[in-house]
Structure 1
Amino acid sequence: MKVPRKNRQPRVKSLTVRHIPTASPFDETIGYSRAVVSDSWVFVAGTTGYDYAKMVMPDSIKAQCRNALATIDKALQEAGSGARPCCAGHLHRA
């Protein structure tokens, strides 16, 4: 039986991490990224229904939802993925 050595460092797989930025000032001030790619995973968070073309928040929930999903899809495309392989999604309405 092999006895483990004391003080032996565990093997840690190094991850490749890439950030998908936005045009927001939050990228620089708080380190925000629209999406983070880690190996074959893409994590997207903090997406609202804001209309970036008109620079306004639409009144209707339908328009906000459409904008949020379009923004998420754009981030996924930039990450080299897309909405098709999405395994989970949570929409929160305030």
Structure 2
Amino acid sequence: MHHRISTGSPWEPKVGYSRAVVVDNTIYISGTAGKGEDVYAQTRDALSTVEKVLVDSGFALTDVVQSRLVVADFDNWEAAARAHGEIYGDIRPAFSLVHALPFVDPSILVEVEAVAVRTRT
């Protein structure tokens, strides 16, 4: 059995996705964009949203086992990776850096995804 988590975004029913899906002790968090003037700020904000989804669902940032950064302009990968490293530096989940362009909204410079496994009950 799985539990879907929604933000109420109009895109969720149109595209057919959920913000996150919890299956047993695993949570899968969809691509999450952040707000900010640049890639670094957007990455930090998106990771803050990911952490909120985790905590609200009974998980912790330290439960993250896989993370993905998707950048619209690969020239900015280092700023996104720096923000990612500041959050996940000691956790060190499996990681992918992907270049995809363009995003649906051109103001979106980066999205983050995560998979976390709760090991405590």
Normalization by structure 1: what TM-score?
A: 0.68
The whole-number CA distance in structure 1 between the counterparts of 2:30 and 2:57 is 14
CA distance in 1: counterparts of 2:58 and 2:6, whole angstroms = 14
Structure 2 residue runs of 5 or longer lacking an equivalent are 73-121
Any idea what SS the aligned residue of 2:31 has?
Answer: coil
| Matched letter for residue 83 of structure 1 | L
Runs (4+) off by over 2 Å: 27-32
Q: What secondary structure, in the 3-state scheme, does the structure 2 residue paired with 1:69 have?
A: helix
TM-score scaled to structure 2, two decimals? 0.54
Tell me which protein shows more strand as a share of its residues.
Answer: 2
Determine if the alignment matches structure 1 residue 67 to structure 2 residue 45: yes
Do residues 33 (structure 1) and 11 (structure 2) align?
A: no
Percent sequence identity over aligned pairs: 36
Q: Which of the pair is proportionally richer in helix?
A: 2
* Partners of 2:21 and 2:60 in 1: CA distance: 14
Q: How does 1:1-94 map to 2 (within 5 A)?
A: 16-49=1-34, 51=35, 58-94=36-72
Q: How many pairs were matched up?
A: 72
SS of 2:12's equivalent in the other structure is helix
- Unaligned residue ranges in structure 1 (runs of 5+): 1-15, 52-57
Do the aligned partners of 1:20 and 1:78 also contact (CA within 8 Å) in 2? no
**Deviation of residue 59 (structure 1)?**
2.1
> Which is bigger in relative contact order (C-alpha 8 A, separation at least 6)?
2
Report the secondary structure of 1:45's partner residue: strand
Structure whose alpha-carbon radius of gyration is higher = 1
Match for 1:18: what amino acid?
H
Aligned AA for 1:86? V
